[in-house]
Structure 1
């Protein structure tokens, strides 16, 4: 027999209440909430935290490290730089998912992410100061490895802050903020590296201070929930092995997102990693190449700023991420045509404009797109750490690929090969189904 409730009785279904972020929002909400107050402060510092990392990487990878490596053995500079950067990138690639996994399980009064962000920044700063005094290839390689591992311990938990605390409806804006930090950091770092190229030890020390200030400000002004009372899943040794594997069959969108990021960034980095050497030997500037870098940096910065500022908010308004990501990869490929067919400063400037527009557009939506293909919300740090391998792996692959191409073929061959890779990255985004 069924019992019909009396008309005066109320039947209520229990609806789970979403856990709000420290800023007072539901991270899974698709509503475009106003970005004001604490959420706006988080937006600003999200960009600043990226700026600190990439200002260092831009200066070190583009100028300071190549000059250090060249001073050891000018005749073997390309091969030696490829080895040093590849070793560092592989170390960073391994560190990211592990740092993400450990931060997922961290319980502290400062939350899950802040302890790892600040610790990674301190380790990176110390390693940079020591790296500035290295004169041998082994010492340079070992310290650069420590710098890359430390920066990835910082950056992986920082990336998890977006799915942890930012509503889906405004993640394009946050992705643009992080992208601006990357772009201003890389291009500004190139210029700063050129200015400080005469005193590399001073340059490394300045960058160390910048990293600590960026990480400390992010953690201090955007405190997370005290999570010491939350249950902590047991951590078994097998979890470390599983950290690096996400089944493409079970999570195809995750796999396509990984592949798209990997190929797009590899296509871009194949030439930019060797920018100094391209200017010296392909464009023919010789010793004047360092003086040309600030001009290229300014041109690239202006174009990337335009596309980043437009791309992220535009994707929020359209409710679409994929068209912007695809167009970005194609723009990078188009930019590579110019220095290939026109090996002059004009060709390099055209490349800086078009590739800058593409790179900025990609970074404006990349983080937002990939936070929406994560298999679960409980292990954001781990999954983003795996996805961030697609950021660090190109830093390992691109110098190795570029060094091989230059050794076997020529500097001119870098550009068509990078074009093919960038186009493949754009096309890899298309099969993603969970994101429009």
Structure 2
């Protein structure tokens, strides 16, 4: 990237396709990031909560992850905003990527030695702040470096990395490293190695001080709010992203209990692994195919609409037919739909960002749409399961949320 029409390279719209080596480094950095988040959430934190307070393990786990989620909501756009205003000779993003990975690793080491709930909360807050900062800068690398006609392909890789990070994290801390402290330490090492490789082997354009956005406290805080009236396409795309995340969370968070209580499967744990395996393979296929064909056609919205329809169909299958056969059919449908959506979503979202000067901050706001469903969905699901129809209502709500997302994307005018 070079200076274009008086604008520095850091703010210019990229036109040169990124190489496979750059894609690979971003891919592995994202795997490390998601492994560092989901291995603790899936295995390590619940185990630690039970060790510290077996009688109240559910409350301890919810408290720790809930406080961490609140930290995430603040850290992601804030660190993104700070990186937008960084004029370091090392670049705008790389210093914060490395700092976020380091802070996250420190938090994981704190968790490895946590002897009470208070220290556990502190450790997870450090992890949430650091890794969400890393997420903000890694995500902003896409509009910084990737041309518009290559973004769906890169978005597909990012979606795959999230799924692989989740699966590999579970394998790491249940099969390869079985001690609780060892699991945290292994996660910390992988997070830092992925960040170091990306920072040392990829370019990051510097921002001259003359182009630094306004830094007055009042203006900085005001910039965290993006006006839907001034930037309607961003608002519609954000709302679509939130609804897809909510629908996916409603459809996946309670699958283990669904298999046990509604399907009455004899071995629900193995059943869930089979479902997630089908989901993961289909997600990879959907992400790769949608990313390829979307970039070739330079169209985005038809793929979102198709993905929303497939995900809604998967949810409705589980709403009407609550048996093991239906579960085996719905799992790959949900996976291929979500993979296709994730590939195209980043291409759309990075095309409707309000300003090049605030890419990381604005993508931090986008990432709130990823985090909020993890808070909202369990609350909604609790009401649906207890009072409004059980699992049929839960999966019907998942379908409705996804259908709404499909409607919302049609309101985006600047993307085809």
Q: TM-score range by the shorter chain?
A: 0.7 to 0.9
Separation in structure 1 between the aligned mates of residue 36 and residue 217 of structure 2, nearest angstrom: 33
Matches within 5 A, 1:207-226: 207-226=187-206
Give the TM-score normalised by the residue count of structure 1: 0.84
Q: 1:5-30: CA deviations, max 9, x gaps? A: xxxxxxxxxx92665579xxx6354x
Q: Could you say which residue in structure 1 is the equivalent of 2:342?
A: 363
Q: 2:182 aligns with which of 198, 202, 210?
A: 202
Q: Does 1:16 align with 2:2?
A: no
Q: Could you say which residue in structure 2 is the equivalent of 1:423?
A: 403
Change in Cα spacing, 1:77 to 1:110, as seen in structure 2 (3 Å) is same
What SS does structure 1 have at the residue aligned with 2:357? coil
Q: 1:396-419: CA deviations, max 9, x gaps? A: 222333344445554554322222
Q: 2:140 aligns with which of 160, 163, 174?
A: 160
Whether the 8 Å contact between 2:17 and 2:146 is mirrored in structure 1 is: no
What SS does structure 1 have at the residue aligned with 2:215? coil
The CA deviation at 1:340 is 3.5
Change in Cα spacing, 1:336 to 1:70, as seen in structure 2 (3 Å) is farther
Q: Does 1:27 align with 2:25?
A: no
Separation in structure 1 between the aligned mates of residue 178 and residue 185 of structure 2, nearest angstrom: 14
Separation in structure 1 between the aligned mates of residue 63 and residue 383 of structure 2, nearest angstrom: 11
Q: 2:359 aligns with which of 376, 380, 396?
A: 380
Provide structure 1 residue ranges, at least 5 long, that are not aligned to the other structure: 1-14
Q: Does 1:149 align with 2:129?
A: yes
Separation in structure 2 between the aligned mates of residue 415 and residue 79 of structure 1, nearest angstrom: 26
Whether the 8 Å contact between 2:17 and 2:147 is mirrored in structure 1 is: no
Separation in structure 1 between the aligned mates of residue 50 and residue 329 of structure 2, nearest angstrom: 28
Separation in structure 1 between the aligned mates of residue 385 and residue 115 of structure 2, nearest angstrom: 25
Matches within 5 A, 1:21-420: 27-29=13-15, 35=18, 39-69=19-49, 81-134=61-114, 136-195=116-175, 199-227=179-207, 231-279=211-259, 281-284=261-264, 289-408=268-387, 410-411=390-391, 413-420=393-400
Number of corresponding residues: 412
Separation in structure 1 between the aligned mates of residue 89 and residue 283 of structure 2, nearest angstrom: 38
Whether the 8 Å contact between 1:299 and 1:352 is mirrored in structure 2 is: yes
- Report the aligned-residue RMSD: 2.9
Change in Cα spacing, 1:238 to 1:420, as seen in structure 2 (3 Å) is same
Q: 1:80-117: CA deviations, max 9, x gaps? A: 65444333222111111111110011111220000111
Separation in structure 2 between the aligned mates of residue 135 and residue 403 of structure 1, nearest angstrom: 31
Q: 1:155-179: CA deviations, max 9, x gaps? A: 1011111111211121122212222
Shifted more, 415-424 versus 150-159: the winner is 415-424
Change in Cα spacing, 1:347 to 1:97, as seen in structure 2 (3 Å) is same
Change in Cα spacing, 1:74 to 1:123, as seen in structure 2 (3 Å) is same
Q: 1:202-224: CA deviations, max 9, x gaps? A: 32222222111111111111031
Shifted more, 394-403 versus 224-233: the winner is 224-233
Separation in structure 1 between the aligned mates of residue 350 and residue 106 of structure 2, nearest angstrom: 31
Whether the 8 Å contact between 1:98 and 1:240 is mirrored in structure 2 is: no
Whether the 8 Å contact between 2:108 and 2:188 is mirrored in structure 1 is: yes
Change in Cα spacing, 1:114 to 1:314, as seen in structure 2 (3 Å) is same
Separation in structure 2 between the aligned mates of residue 345 and residue 143 of structure 1, nearest angstrom: 39
Separation in structure 2 between the aligned mates of residue 246 and residue 226 of structure 1, nearest angstrom: 25
Shifted more, 298-307 versus 45-54: the winner is 45-54
Give the structure with the higher percent helix: 2
Largest Rg, 1 or 2? 1
The CA deviation at 1:428 is 1.1
Whether the 8 Å contact between 1:243 and 1:386 is mirrored in structure 2 is: no
Whether the 8 Å contact between 1:266 and 1:395 is mirrored in structure 2 is: yes
